[in-house]
Every structure is written in structure tokens, then in C-alpha cells.
Amino acid sequence: MEFSLNSNLVSNLIYLFIFIFGLAVGSFLNCVIYRLEKNEGFLKDRSYCPHCHHVLSWQDLIPIFSFLILKGKCRYCHKKISLQYPLVELSAAILFVLIFNAAAFNLRTIYYLIICCFLIVIFVYDLKHYLIPDKIIYPAIALALIFNFQFLISKQLLIFKYAILSAVLASAFFLSIFLISRGKWLGFGDVKLAFLMGLFLGFPKILVALFFAYLIGAIIGIGLILAKKKKLKSEVPFGPFLVTGTFIALFWGQVLIDWYFRFFMI
């Protein structure tokens, strides 16, 4: 009993550490997103307020808590801090815990955590600017290719083939839409993101991701039209829906696939 209690305590402390680490990474991702917007390097210089450009001190940079303590306002100019900052920090922390909970800590877990960071940046940047930056999507694709080459080297050819095939077919599907619509229905960044999704998820999880991306996109799109926030021909970024579908497929894809076959194959 004592051993069990100690084990649970250690487990909870590990998850707490992962959560706090995720908050810190989320804070860094906010910096990356902002400096991508300004075309600035994000590995140099200290963080500053986007309004008054005052250099922020350590007590201004505590994830979540600084936002709450300062009541969502800059300590120096008192202008509002975007909700993006605490939401990105919290999202990164939750996703890190989910990833760590899904698998033992190994090379795959580290790979998932890094791709997760890329996807968060893509989600926010595309939502704000209707653009998926090449500085983010190309390194993510390169990392996914390198990771999948281990399956080729270790002669796990089926896994490697499924990843490459999923990437090619998913991107080809989006490329055809891009070409037919001449870029009016979606951007070329979505084609590249689909390639990354295929490499990251493989088959058949890529199908789950695309299904939920379109489903959630349709629901939100109809909701925006009914709320008169958008018109039928208004442009809506599709990247955030693809990222959302990717995370759904990553964490619950196999469960959903198993449920589908049990339900429809009875």
C-alpha cells in the first residue's frame, strides 16, 4: 500500500512537471509566433511588450499566472494582453500531458512533442494571418521525414510505406483542390500541411484527421454564417481545422477506427 501511494505520488509529480514544462514551452511558442509576424529572430533578445516595447522582467513572464496577476494588462503601459498568450500556454501544457500519457518517454515521445509545437504555431499563425509560414512547415516536414526514415533503416517497410503514401495522397488531394480552384478554396500552405499530416499520422489515422477537419470546419463555418460573422464566400483559414483533426487522430484515432469497424461491420 505504501509503495502504491509512493508510486502514485511520483507519477503525479512527473505529470505536474510535464504540465509546467508545457506552460514554459507555450510561452516560448508565443514569442515565436509574435516574432514571425515581425520577421524578427526569436533566439535573441529579451521579450518585450508588443504595445509599448518595454522589456519584460521575469515576473511578467510566468506562464498563465502573470496574465492573471496583471489582470490581462501590461504592467507598464496597461494595454490589454491578447488572450492568445495564456491560451497557447495552456494548450501546450495539456497537449504535452496527453502525449506523455499516451506513450512511455522515448524518442517517439520527443518527436511528438516537437511536432506538437510546430502544429501549435501553425494553428495560431494561420488563424491570425491566413498563412502557414514556410519557416515552420518545412522544418516540421524535414523532421517527420527523418523520423520515418528510421523505419526504412530498421526494415519496418510497411510503416514507412504507409507514412509516405499517406503524405503523398493527402497532399495530392489538396493540391488538386488548389489547382481546380486556382487557390480560391484553400492555400498552398494547406497542401504542405497535408503532407506533414500524412507523414506524422500515417494510414489510416490520416483519414480520421481529414474527416474531423472537414466536419469541424463545416460546423464552425455554418455557425459563423448563421451568426452573420462571415458570408458564404468569405475566406476562412483551414489550417486550424487540419491541426485540430491531426490532434484528434493522434490521441483518439485508433479508438475511433476500432469503433467504426465494430459499429458498421456487425
| Res 6: pLDDT | 67
| Res 91: pLDDT | 96
Three cell numbers, residue 210: 481529414
Q: Say how many CA atoms lie within 13 Å of 236 toward its Cβ.
A: 22
Compute the 3-state secondary structure of the chain and give helix, strand, coil in percent, each to the nearest 5.
75, 0, 25
CA atoms of 181 and 45, how far apart (whole Å): 43
| Res 249: pLDDT | 96
| Res 179: pLDDT | 94
Q: Could you read off the pLDDT of 162-188 as tens digits, one per residue?
A: 999 999 999 999 999 999 988 888 889
| Res 75: pLDDT | 82
| Res 21: pLDDT | 95
| Res 1: pLDDT | 44
| Residue 55 β-bridge partners | 48
CA atoms of 214 and 194, how far apart (whole Å): 13
| Res 265: pLDDT | 65
CA atoms of 105 and 258, how far apart (whole Å): 25
CA atoms of 113 and 116, how far apart (whole Å): 5
Task: Report how far apart, in Å, the C-alpha atoms of 114 and of each of 98, 206, 214, 253 are.
Answer: 14, 19, 25, 20
Q: Which residues of the chain have pLDDT under 50?
A: 1-3
